[in-house]
Amino acid sequence: MMLGIARRGAIVSGSADDPLGSGPDDQLLANSGIFCFHPDGLAVTDANLPRVSVVGGGLIYSAVQNLLLACRAEGLGCVLSTLLCKAEPEVREILRIPQPWGTAAAVPIGYPQLRGHGPISRRPVEQMAFLDSWDQPFT
């Protein structure tokens, strides 16, 4: 199960050294889509591997991608961030997120400055996708 919380207001950004600014205050969360998850709805298929789980909760990012694409289509700028997860107790308090829900992603949304979106450039498929093994480019 997923939940999205949309916030409206002014955006305040942090610096490279402190990307959350002085903390996840209400202004930082403004104009953001906050995606939350309920742990009972997760299928963590890599939980028993000897590494950090990257699959647990992965389905929520389909919803995040839909928001990113919808924003782009409307001329809005946005970016996927998981930085707010580091400050989840504070975010939970500000947004009144109940237990056992957790934060998965934040998507700050706004209008691009200056020229807006530029042309999309992508690497060739053979540099990004492989067939059968890592050293066999998909062509």
| pLDDT band per the 50, 70, 90 thresholds, residue 69 | very high
CA torsion 102→104→105→106, rounded to 10°?
0
Cut 0.85: pTM above it: no
Burial of 81 (0-12, 13-18, 19+ CB in 10 A): middle
Q: Is 3 helix (H, G, I), strand (E, B) or coil?
A: strand
> Could you report the per-residue pLDDT of 81-122, keeping only the tens digit for each?
988 888 889 888 888 888 988 888 889 888 888 777 777 788
**Domains in the chain: ranges and CATH:** 2-128 (3.40.109.10)
> Could you report the per-residue pLDDT of 7-66, keeping only the tens digit for each?
444 333 333 344 444 444 455 556 788 888 888 878 888 888 898 888 777 778 888 999
